[in-house]
């Protein structure tokens, strides 16, 4: 997916501030939908299901060693 450079316009600081206010006032469901669309565009899976996490890349570890207390 290539970025369409013609889809953007130059904004004044006031227009940009209004733009931010618009997104602040959106309902949470719409914010969530926009977030997912932006993530799909950023990672290149627009229109596809979210990729499954590669669990082989991560490891599970405990934050506190068992059997030892700090007191």
pLDDT digits 0-9 by tens, 14-31: 888 888 888 889 999 999
pLDDT band at 9 (very low <50, low <70, confident <90, very high): confident
Q: Model pTM?
A: 0.49
pLDDT digits 0-9 by tens, 31-69: 999 998 888 888 888 878 877 877 787 777 778 776 665
pLDDT value for 71: 54
Helix or strand run (H / E) with residue 29: helix 28-43
Number of C-beta neighbours around residue 31 at 10 A: 13
pLDDT value for 31: 93
Structural contact between residues 31 and 23, judged by C-beta atoms closer than 8 angstroms: yes
Number of C-beta neighbours around residue 40 at 10 A: 16
């Amino acid at each position: 997916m290539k970025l369409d450079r013609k889809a953007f316009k130059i904004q004044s600081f006031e227009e940009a501030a209004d733009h931010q206010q618009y997104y602040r006032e959106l309902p949470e469901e719409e914010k969530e939908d926009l977030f997912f669309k932006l993530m799909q565009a950023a990672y290149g899976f627009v229109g596809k299901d979210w990729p499954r996490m590669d669990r082989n890349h991560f490891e599970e570890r405990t934050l506190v060693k068992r059997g030892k207390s700090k007191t």
